[in-house]
Chain A
Amino acid sequence: MPRDKGRGQQLLALFCLGVVLLSYPMLAIFNHSLLEAGIPLLVIYLFGVWAALIGATAWLIER
């Protein structure tokens, strides 16, 4: 368990948020054949959420 209880709970919450963001129906919102700046909307969303999850984990752990 991470050192302090608060951080552990925050990581757990982040995990749940990640699961929700990367599943149906959240995915359906962005499921369109559209390009934004030449990149498909769904690709932007998935990689964006992915990067944000990594960033948030790093922030929670390293601060």
Chain B
Amino acid sequence: MLPGSTIVLVSLFYVGVLFAIAYWGDQRADRGRSLLKNPWIYALSLGVYCTAWTYYGSVGRAAATGLGFLPVYLGPTLMAILWGFVLRKMVRISKINRITTIADFVASRYGKSTLLGALVTVIAVVGVAPYISLQLDAVSTSFTLLQDGLGTPNQGLADFPDTALLISLAMAAFAVLFGTRHLDVTEHHEGLVAAIAFESIVKLAAFLAAGIFISFVVFGGPNQIFTLALQSPDTARLLTFNENTLQYTDWFWLTVLSMLAILFLPRQFQMAVLENTDERHIARASWLFPLYLLVINLFVLPIALGGILTFGVPGAPSVEPDMYVLALTMAAQQPALALLVFVGGISAATSMVIVETVALSTMVSNDLVMPLLLRTRLLRPDESRDYSGLLLLIRRVAIVAILLLGYLYVRSTGATASLVSVGLISFAAVAQFAPAVFGGIYWKGGTRLGALGGLLAGFLVWGYTLSLPSLGAIGGVSQGFVADGPWGIGFLRPNSLFGVTGLDPVTHSLLWSLLANVMAYIGISLAVQPSVLEHGQATRFVDVFHYSPAGDSLLFWRGTASVSALRSLLERFLGERRTQESLALYARRRGLDLEVMKEADAELVQYCESLLAGVMGTASAHVAVASVVQEERLNMDEVLRLLEETSQVLAYSRQLEQRTSQLEQKSLALEAATAELRTANQRLQELDRLKDDFISTVTHELRTPLTSIRAFAEILYDNPDLESDRRTAFLEIVLKESERLTRLINQVLALAKLESGAVEWQLGALTIEPLVEEAITATAGLHGEKQVLVTKELSPDLPPVWADHDQVMQVLVNLLSNARKFCAAQGGRVVVHGRLEGSSLLVTVSDNGPGISRADQEIIFDKFRQAAHSTGSRPQGTGLGLPISAEIIAHLGGQLWVESQPGQGATFAFTLPLAEVDTATV
């Protein structure tokens, strides 16, 4: 359809863009502006999970099993919910122990065992090679299809050098350039991650574009496709679970399998654990990453059904179902879109291959080759040579070798199997890591031998039940072997071991291999005693959150090592400059002078080992360090004692912490209670004193009018023949005095009520103007004999206040009657003024009377205290009006005060809160 040269040119251009992005990412990181400090980039980089399997294979899988492609994405979604527990713990452990790969993780946990690291590496390489081959296969198949057009039968990989080889070499170049940039693997591959995140966007965009085009433009909507599909039994059965396509058991176990794969695939471990820069990114990714999976899977089923509807039922197809995405865009005569789809496929394949080979090559160099060289003394750490170049070389060679292994797998199997079935073989292989890793981080009882036994058992069962049958003839396996069992023993048939039939080969293999794995792991772990180192590492892993993030609080080491020997060891693997920097940093942190120091202590040895671990893996680092120090072997009792001490110290400090916080809480509560008691007591005493004062004042005040009433009443009683006008005058006094008495009693009651809080406040929004008018009218008759001019000056449109009508009225009446009372006898004037002051209303009542002296200003708000009248006589009134008013205003949330200069009148002012402000805060 398209000339091969065009396709190659576009592919090369795309790869060029990738190189540019990776280069740019590394440059930014070097300038301290890392792209990895972003949870979105982290989540996108996890999209490396979606490979050519997702891009091409899912459609093929859907064409065969309907919804059977989904568990591979539902599993990670479920696991992602738990990332906050599991993945975060793995990240923390890896940071503290400077883990470089998943093989390193397992080896480190079980006593830095080189054997275990090597076994995990072998399983990973053997298990994942088919998965890499799948990517190469997908790219070369899509290339051939795009070049030759539809209707040409697939010739496979006839010509040599074929496209798959060229692709492998290009990918190897990328991985070598950006994946082995740093010697220290725990340093982040900034450029690599940036490129992978970019590829995640490209493949998503390309697949969505194809999906939307095929579903909506070609078929007029997914609903049209489904309606058509339902009409034919061949496609209708793909829409449900049934015996022919998809069964519940397989569905469940595939979900479990992919839950494990998302954690243990070497490339996922690389991206999720090693390239993680911030533990908080995990939380964001635990919903962003599943969202990515959901979106990229939206159109898989419509495309698969559309492919069947267009190209006929799979089985006698003109087009492989795996290639439906590409073929459908080609069938619609859209070369540009087809090219985009092809590029998307490249991006899906390259991202996987690059990260996987980088991860695997680190494993091979750190956990396979290095320990081998160290153990066999081919490489002597005590010789003064620089080995840092050698390490990088091993890794680069490993990348090329792994890719070639994948390439060989494609050529030898001849791409007969579908993409997904090849990929699932790899999933089942890495699932074997689950017992050792989960047990390793949650169960201290797991031992090295247990992990070895479990992994070996699981790996063998996997090889026998899944890998061997899939290799077919090229593995030297005859057809009869699979169909009838070895030597014709049907009981041992690889695909139905012990006569268990009716299961999908993957489910079948997963069940048996995990069963063997778990049983061996737990059984052997319980049967054998762990070594000293295993014990220490178990605690470091399982209790990782109990220690400080810097780690290193547990040291199981005793021995002698010279500082200079350690220094030259580091120089050989890290180079002189980095050794110098790292040791200087360490010396500064601990305040040591390493130039003077001769004997290294346990902590320094540990530090050097962890530096080396970042370069060559924990197990190799342990071996290397052991070669230059004289270790005194701790026996188990000593370690147990150390452990016990540490845990006792930990437990003790935790207890202390708890005790302290409990005590603090208690003493706080006690203090609060004491303070409360004290205030209550003070208040009681105050009340008592007030009551005494009050009673004496009240009785005194009551006695005055009573005395005069009684005196005049006695006169009237004793002199019945008094002249009528005198009699009238006397009676008038009695009446006035009893009125005064009534008023006094009323006010005393009002004040008592106010102070005891017995008043029922009826708060509401009040407009002040009618209140003022009402108050002026009410007070007009009180001092009627006096000619007083009362005016009001209220700002227009005053907002309502939040107050009680009757109480505010009371205050206004009190103030107005006071003002009338005290204003000038001739030309008396009282002004009521009102305006807005901030968030409250200010009302003032001014008179032109004699004013109030400063001394009097302080006492007039006390009960029964009145200012001395300028005339010297006692003013009328009870002396309770102002205290009552002040009390009311204070209760309403305002203030009442007086401003006065003697001789210039007095101004009483009060504030009230505005209605809307108060309601807003209530």
Within 8 A of B (CB), among A10-53: 11-12, 14-15, 18-19, 22-24, 27-28, 31-33, 35, 37-40, 42-43, 46-47, 50-51, 53
Complex-state Cα separation, A27 to B537, whole angstroms:
43
Q: A33 to B251, alpha carbons, bound, how many Å?
A: 18
Known: A11-B82, A15-B81, A35-B223. A22 touches B74 (CB 8 A): yes
Q: How far is the CB of B224 from chain A (nearest CB, A)?
A: 7
Chain A nearest CB: distance from B301 CB in Å?
A: 6
A38 touches B84 (CB 8 A): no
A sample of 23 cross-chain residue pairs with beta-carbon separation below 8 angstroms, ordered by A number, consists of: A1-B84, A2-B85, A2-B283, A8-B84, A12-B82, A12-B85, A22-B255, A23-B252, A24-B251, A28-B248, A33-B236, A35-B227, A37-B223, A38-B224, A40-B230, A42-B239, A47-B298, A53-B77, A53-B81, A54-B77, A61-B286, A61-B287, A62-B284
Mask, B212-252, CB within 8 Å of A = 1, is 00000000011110110010000010011100000010011
Chain A residues, CB < 8 A from B255 = 22-23
Q: Which residue of B lies closest to A23 (CB)?
A: B252
Give the distance in Å from the alpha carbon of A12 to the alpha carbon of B221 in the complex: 38
Tell me, in angstroms, the Cα distance from A12 to B294 when the chains sit together: 21
Whether the pair A18, B226 counts as a contact (CB closer than 8 A) is: no
The answer to whether A33 and B230 touch across the interface, beta carbons within 8 angstroms, is: yes
Q: In whole angstroms, how far apart are the Cα atoms of A48 and B250 in the complex?
A: 21
Q: Check A23/B248 contact, CB under 8 A, given A33-B236, A33-B239.
A: yes
Q: Contact: A15 with B239, CB < 8 Å? A: no
In the assembled complex, the CB of B61 is this many whole angstroms from the nearest CB of chain A, namely 15
B241: chain A residues at CB < 8 Å are 27-28, 31, 42
Cβ-defined contact, B248 with A38, below 8 A: no
- Check A50–B74 contact: CB distance below 8 A: yes
Report yes or no: B82 in contact with A31, Cβ–Cβ below 8 A: no
Say yes or no: is B67 at the interface (Cβ < 8 Å to chain A): yes
> In whole angstroms, how far apart are the Cα atoms of A23 and B78 in the complex?
12
Which residues B65-86 have CB closer than 8 A to chain A? Answer: 67, 70, 74, 77-78, 80-82, 84-85
- In the complex the two chains form, is B252's CB within 8 Å of A14's CB? no
A interface: dominant SS: helix
B78 touches A15 (CB 8 A): yes
Q: How far is the CA of A47 from the CA of B290 in the complex (A)?
A: 12
Contact call A58/B226, Cβ cutoff below 8 A: no
Which 3 A-B residue pairings sit nearest by Cβ, starting from the closest?
A38-B223, A24-B248, A58-B287
Contact: B227 with A38, CB < 8 Å? yes
* Chain B interface, DSSP helix/strand/loop, else mixed: helix
Q: Which residues of B contact A18 (CB under 8 A)?
A: 77-78, 81
Asked whether A8 and B294 contact (CB < 8 A) given A38-B226, A57-B287, the answer is no
Contacts of B224 in A (CB 8 A): 38
Tell whether, in the assembled complex, residue B230 and residue A43 are in contact, meaning their CB atoms are under 8 Å apart: no
Instruction: Give the size range of A's interface with the partner.
Output: 35 or more
> Is B291 located at the chain interface by the 8 A CB criterion?
yes
CB-CB contacts below 8 Å: B285-342 with A = 286-287, 290-291, 294, 298, 301
How many angstroms from the CA of A46 to the CA of B230 in the assembled complex?
18
B88 at the interface (CB under 8 A from A): yes
Using CB atoms and an 8 Å cutoff, list the residues of chain B in contact with chain A. 67, 70, 74, 77-78, 80-82, 84-85, 88, 221-224, 226-227, 230, 236, 239-241, 248, 251-252, 255, 283-284, 286-287, 290-291, 294, 298, 301, 545
Closest B-chain residue to A7, C-beta based? B84
Chain B residues whose C-beta falls within 8 Å of the C-beta of A46 in the assembled complex = 67, 70, 74
**In contact, B74 and A1 (Cβ under 8 angstroms):** no
Contact partner of B283 (CB less than 8 A), chosen from A14, A28, A61, is A61
**Chain B's nearest CB lies how many Å from the CB of A12?**
7
With most chain A CB atoms within 10 A of its CB, the pick from B70, B78, B241 is: B78
Q: How far is the CA of A15 from the CA of B287 in the complex (A)?
A: 13
**Interface residues in chain A, defined as those with a beta carbon under 8 Å from any beta carbon in chain B:** 1-2, 8, 11-12, 14-15, 18-19, 22-24, 27-28, 31-33, 35, 37-40, 42-43, 46-47, 50-51, 53-55, 57-58, 61-62
- Chain B residues within an 8 Å CB radius of A2: 84-85, 283
B77 touches A50 (CB 8 A): yes
Flag if A53 contacts B290 (CB, 8 Å). Answer: yes
A54 with B545: CB separation less than 8 A: no
B26 CB to nearest chain A CB (Å): 31
The minimal Cβ–Cβ distance linking B289 to chain A, given in whole angstroms, is 9
Is B85 touching A33 in the complex (CB atoms < 8 A)?
Answer: no
User: Chain B residues with Cβ under 8 A from A57's Cβ?
Assistant: 80-81, 286-287, 290
Residues of A within 8 A of B301 (CB): 43
Name which residue of chain A comes closest to B256, CB basis: A19
In the assembled complex, how far is the CB of residue B502 from the closest CB belonging to chain A, in whole angstroms?
A: 15
Check if A38 sits within 8 Å of B221, measured CB to CB: yes
Residues of A within 8 A of B88 (CB): 1
Q: A1-B84, A23-B252, A58-B287 are in contact. List 4 more A-B contacts (CB 8 A).
A: A15-B78, A24-B251, A57-B81, A61-B287
Question: Shortest Cβ distance from B171 into chain A, in angstroms?
Answer: 32
Which residues of chain B have C-beta atoms less than 8 A from A33's C-beta? Answer: 230, 236, 239-240
> CA A58 – CA B80 in complex, angstroms?
11
State whether B248 touches A11 (Cβ < 8 A).
no
Residue of A nearest to B283 (CB): A61
Does A27 lie within 8 Å of B248, measured CB to CB?
Answer: yes
A60 to chain B, nearest CB (A): 9
Q: Are A61 and B226 also in contact (CB < 8 A) when A8-B85, A54-B77 are?
A: no
Alpha-carbon gap, A53 to B80, bound state (A)? 10
Are the C-beta atoms of B78 and A22 separated by less than 8 Å? yes
Bound CA–CA A55/B239 (angstroms): 25
By a CB distance below 8 angstroms, the chain A residues around B226 are: 35, 38-40, 43
Which residues in A have their C-beta under 8 angstroms from that of B70?
Answer: 46
Contacts of B298 in A (CB 8 A): 47
Known contacts A22-B255, A27-B248; A38/B222 CB under 8 A = yes
Closest CB of chain A to B403's CB: distance in Å?
A: 35
> Across the interface, which residues of B come within 8 angstroms of A38, CB to CB?
221-224, 226-227
**Chain B residues near A50 (CB, 8 Å)?**
74, 77, 290, 294
B78 adjacent to A19 (CB under 8 Å)? yes
Contacts of B240 in A (CB 8 A): 31-33, 40, 42
Chain B nearest CB, measured from A23 CB (Å): 6
State A13–B84 Cα separation when bound (angstroms).
13
Given contacts A31-B240, A35-B223, A40-B226, contact A47 B294 (CB under 8 A): yes
Chain B residues with CB under 8 Å of A53's CB are: 77-78, 81, 290
Q: Which residues of B contact A24 (CB under 8 A)?
A: 248, 251-252
CA of A40 to CA of B464, assembled, Å: 39
Q: Which residues of chain B come closer than 8 Å to A32, judged between CB atoms?
A: 240
Report yes or no: B78 in contact with A61, Cβ–Cβ below 8 A.
Answer: no
User: With A23-B252, A31-B241, A53-B290 known to touch, is A11 a contact of B81 (CB < 8 Å)?
Assistant: yes
> Chain B residues near A55 (CB, 8 Å)?
287
Residue numbers in A under 8 Å from B221 (CB-CB): 38
> Is A39 within 8 A of B222, CB to CB?
yes
Tell me the minimal C-beta distance from B735 to chain A in angstroms. 74
Q: Which residues of B contact A22 (CB under 8 A)?
A: 74, 78, 255
The answer to whether B223 touches A15 (Cβ under 8 A) is no
Q: A28-B241, A32-B240 are in contact. Are A15 and B290 (CB under 8 A)?
A: no
B82 and A39 form a contact (CB under 8 A)? no
- What chain A residues lie within 8 Å of B85 (beta carbons)? 1-2, 8, 11-12
Give the most central of B70, B77, B81, B236: most A CB within 10 Å. B81
A37 CA to B85 CA in the complex, in Å?
A: 40
A11–B291 Cα distance when bound, in Å, is: 17
Complexed CA–CA distance, A51 and B222 (Å): 19
In the bound complex, what is the Cα–Cα distance between A58 and B81 (angstroms)?
A: 9
Contacts of A15 in B (CB 8 A): 78, 81-82
